[in-house]
Amino acid sequence: MRTLRLLLLLLTLLLATAAQAADPLPSWADRPVKHAILDWLVAVTDTAGADFIPVPERIAVLDNDGTLWCERPEYSPTQFQVDLCRSLAARGAIDGEAMPFRAWFADDRKDLRSYGYDKAYEAMNEAFAGMPVSDFRDSVRAWIARTPHERYGVPHTDLYYPAMLELMRLLEAHDFQVWIVTGGIQEFLRSYSEELLGIPPERVIGTTDQPKYTVTADGTVVIVRGRDVITNGGPSKPANIEMRIGRRPVFAAGNSDNDEPMCRYAVTGKRRALALWIHHDDGRREYDYGKPGDLGDLCRDNDRAHEVSMKHDWNRIFAEGIGE
Amino acid sequence: MRTLRLLLLLLTLLLATAAQAADPLPSWADRPVKHAILDWLVAVTDTAGADFIPVPERIAVLDNDGTLWCERPEYSPTQFQVDLCRSLAARGAIDGEAMPFRAWFADDRKDLRSYGYDKAYEAMNEAFAGMPVSDFRDSVRAWIARTPHERYGVPHTDLYYPAMLELMRLLEAHDFQVWIVTGGIQEFLRSYSEELLGIPPERVIGTTDQPKYTVTADGTVVIVRGRDVITNGGPSKPANIEMRIGRRPVFAAGNSDNDEPMCRYAVTGKRRALALWIHHDDGRREYDYGKPGDLGDLCRDNDRAHEVSMKHDWNRIFAEGIGE
């Protein structure tokens, strides 16, 4: 009896493995874009083929907010920063009645727009100046643990898209270096990227302060947050990729016009690259806000860039049990 | 006869392998600092020991100029940049009679000091603005190929120290990620780091311009050099390590006070780290200019920091046949 059970278990495992081997992207529907991804992977890893890409050049860059996880109704890194400012205001470290904090706390987007979003973000960054970087990361972890997503009622980090996680693992299995290149706050993502996504901190490029070196009375070095901001959006993404990675990527994925320059950088090189536009067109399961201006034009003009319709190309948006 | 020869060859190979296994640092003299390195490596990779460091945290940062290769009589990246400015002046792109170029071309250090070295370096950086980053790297390669070192008469890149290359390989063999963190020009080093040193471009952190995104008429992305400079020296080194790597290193090596903050950062963390001060005290085989203020104080105050006397601790300074 025990032998039979063991045999059955073994058989189940074998079948599961076989199914996985047959389909490395189970969350993707059997449609053209899935085939384009799989065909491209075969072509660029075939040592005898014309499209072969040597391993050191296999750089993949993926946007985070809206590409790997849900970014609505509000960017999670922004929500976190506003909440951190709330706690600073509560203990008198900043004036919560003054602009732009008053508008941030009231979520008054009209006031924020007239104040200027860039300046409003910079003010939050300045409020964190002097905080040890490790404390900032701890604050993120604590915030994630206590803050469910307002629509789905689960921790924000449960809202990573299985389809994209499968794709990241598939790229890695083909010796790609996977980097996340986000307009969001670098240290926010780094607080969980290694544990949750398998992406170590050095492969996270985000909007970041220029940190500062300090030495305590006993001679110990503590790196703290600085005032200056280095933004990572739009044309800054490919520029920062050059500065930080030093190679043109051959895979890129994004969801907005903020990702267009990075995706264009990938698909206009000599190598046969692939770019994906994650198109938010599924108002029922998630949100519907994608517009052709995001990356649609690039997909139309360049045959290496492809649209991914979340509605049609993904069997599921989130892990089982979320948003159903 | 053929069998005997094969056997002899096999025996020779075995003996060579055994010798290497017995001594992974053959260019290092049998003295305390070599033992400190080897003992430390055993301790931090012993899974059962109190000093064990998990693989993801094994970050090693090494300065370049004066630590991995010869930096005298002048920094090679600076020599290259001055020569590149000479060619720009020759074709009228910059005014070679104006300051600071006049002083750079005459190697007039007094004039450069009164003009201000930072400003003088920034002027060179501005002269390169708009040049594709890939062209800049090509210029470096061409310069190295045609410019022998003034004392040793070999290409500058032949002047990497075998002792340090052995150490880098030994660290990698123990699953360390080796990063080069240099005050020199990032793209200079990147032009040969992968081929010559086995260090890919993303693991080179140096003084860098903030590059710019451009698009040609046919829609192709070209990243060009920008005007703004991000310096990487002294306290900026550990700050940039935090921004780019996102972890406190557990091994650091440097040769000047410019490396003190980075080495201090490594040795004042929770992990049992190791820092090395490459002390230039060998005027016969190389140059004698090290002073205790470089890293001597750190070595005196912190038992994780050790002095490496180039005169006494290294059997050889350069590869065979150079400077003998």
Taking contacts as CB-CB distances below 8 angstroms, the residues of chain A near B301 are 219
CA distance A107 to A102: 8
| Alpha-carbon distance B313 to nearest alpha carbon in chain A (angstroms) | 28
Q: Is the model's pLDDT at A294 over the cut of 80?
A: yes
State residue B3's pLDDT score. Answer: 67
Which residue in B194, B212, B242 is closest to A133 by CB distance? B242
CA distance B235 to B125: 21
CB contact under 8 A, B235 and A243: no
CA distance B147 to B179: 27
CA distance A180 to A169: 13
Amino acid residing at B249: P
The residue among B242, B259, B260, B270 with the most chain A CBs within 10 A of its CB, best to mutate, is B242
CA distance B249 to B58: 7
CB contact under 8 A, B243 and A202: no
| Alpha-carbon distance A236 to nearest alpha carbon in chain B (angstroms) | 7
State residue B12's pLDDT score. Answer: 63
Neighbours of A287 (CB within 10 A): 18
Query: In terms of Cα–Cα distance, which of A227, A224, A178, A226 is closest to A205?
Result: A178
CA distance A19 to A164: 19
How far is residue B80 from each of residues A219, B76, B127, measured CA to CA in Å?
38, 6, 13
Q: pLDDT class for A10, splitting at 50, 70, 90?
A: low
Q: What are phi and psi of A61, to 5 degrees?
A: -120, 130
CB contact under 8 A, B265 and A213: yes
**Residue ranges of B 57-116 with Cβ closer than 8 A to chain A:** none
The residue among B137, B202, B248, B267 with the most chain A CBs within 10 A of its CB, best to mutate, is B202
Listed by start position, the domains of chain B span 26-72+159-313, 76-146
**Residue B305 Ramachandran class (φ > 0 left, ψ -120 to 50 alpha, else beta):** beta
What is the sign of the dihedral through the CA atoms of B232, B235, B241 and B243? negative
Query: In terms of Cα–Cα distance, which of B136, B129, B135, B140 is closest to B211?
Result: B129
Nearest CA in chain B to A200: B56
Q: Is the model's pLDDT at A47 over the cut of 60?
A: yes
| Token digits of residue B128 | 């390169």
Q: pLDDT class for A6, splitting at 50, 70, 90?
A: low
- Within an 8 Å CB–CB cutoff, is residue A211 touching chain B? yes
Give the mean pLDDT of A243-260. 98
Q: Which CATH architecture has domain A25-71+159-313?
A: 3-Layer(aba) Sandwich (3.40)
| Alpha-carbon distance A191 to nearest alpha carbon in chain B (angstroms) | 10
Q: In a structure prediction context, what are the per-residue pLDDT tens digits for chain B, which is 324 residues long?
A: 566 666 766 666 666 566 556 799 999 999 999 999 999 999 999 999 999 999 999 999 999 999 999 999 999 999 999 999 999 999 999 999 999 999 999 999 999 999 999 999 999 999 999 999 999 999 999 999 999 999 999 999 999 999 999 999 999 999 999 999 999 999 999 999 999 999 999 999 999 999 999 999 999 999 999 999 999 999 999 999 999 999 999 999 999 999 999 999 999 999 999 999 999 999 999 999 988 889 999 999 999 999 999 999 999 999 999 987
Query: In terms of Cα–Cα distance, which of A295, A217, A275, A298 is closest to A61?
Result: A275
Pairing, β B229-230 against β B204-209: antiparallel
| Token digits of residue A249 | 């990527």
Contact A62/A184 with Cβ under 8 angstroms? Answer: no
| Alpha-carbon distance A253 to nearest alpha carbon in chain B (angstroms) | 16
**Residue ranges of B 9-48 with Cβ closer than 8 A to chain A:** none
| Alpha-carbon distance B257 to nearest alpha carbon in chain A (angstroms) | 15
Show the 3-state SS of chain A.
CHHHHHHHHHHHHHHHHHHHHHCCCCCECCCHHHHHHHHHHHHHCCCCCCCCCCHHHCEEEECCECCCECCCCCCHHHHHHHHHHHHHHHCCCCCCCCCCHHHHHHCCHHHHHHHCHHHHHHHHHHHCCCCEHHHHHHHHHHHHHHCECCCCCCEHHHHECHHHHHHHHHHHHCCCEEEEEEEEEHHHHHCCHHHHHCCCHHHEEEEEECCEEEECCCCCEEEECCCCEECCCCCHHHHHHHHHCCCCCCEEEECCHHHHHHHHHHHCCCCCCEEEEEECECCCCCCECCCCCCCHHHHHHCCCEEEEEHHHHECCCCCCCCCC
Query: In terms of Cα–Cα distance, which of A110, A142, A112, A137 is closest to A124?
Result: A112
Q: Is the model's pLDDT at A1 over the cut of 90?
A: no
Q: pLDDT class for A8, splitting at 50, 70, 90?
A: low
Fold (topology level) of B26-72+159-313: Rossmann fold (3.40.50)
State residue A293's pLDDT score. Answer: 85
| Inter-chain contacts counted by CB atoms under 8 A, chains A and B | 96
Give the mean pLDDT of A62-72. 98
Task: Quote the crossing angle between the two packed helices A162-173 and A32-44, to the nearest 10°.
Answer: 20
- Within an 8 Å CB–CB cutoff, is residue A217 touching chain B? no
State residue A17's pLDDT score. Answer: 61
* Cα atoms in the Cβ-side hemisphere of radius 13 Å centred on A305: 27
CB contact under 8 A, B213 and A190: no
* Cα atoms in the Cβ-side hemisphere of radius 13 Å centred on A191: 20
Taking contacts as CB-CB distances below 8 angstroms, the residues of chain B near A186 are 243
Find the radius of gyration of the CA atoms of chain A: 22
Show the 3-state SS of chain B.
CHHHHHHHHHHHHHHHHHHHHHCCCCCECCCHHHHHHHHHHHHHCCCCCCCCCCHHHCEEEECCECCCECCCCCCHHHHHHHHHHHHHHHCCCCCCCCCCHHHHHHCCHHHHHHHCHHHHHHHHHHHCCCCEHHHHHHHHHHHHHHCECCCCCCEHHHHECHHHHHHHHHHHHCCCEEEEEEEEEHHHHHCCHHHHHCCCHHHEEEEEECCEEEECCCCCEEEECCCCEECCCCCHHHHHHHHHCCCCCCEEEECCHHHHHHHHHHHCCCCCCEEEEEECECCCCCCECCCCCCCHHHHHHCCCEEEEEHHHHECCCCCCCCCC
Pairing, β A212-215 against β A221-224: antiparallel
Q: Is the pTM here over 0.95, yes or no? A: no
CA distance A267 to A285: 30
Amino acid residing at B127: A
State residue B17's pLDDT score. Answer: 62
Residues A180-237 have pLDDT tens digits of 999 999 999 999 999 999 999 999 999 999 999 999 999 999 999 999 999 999 999 9
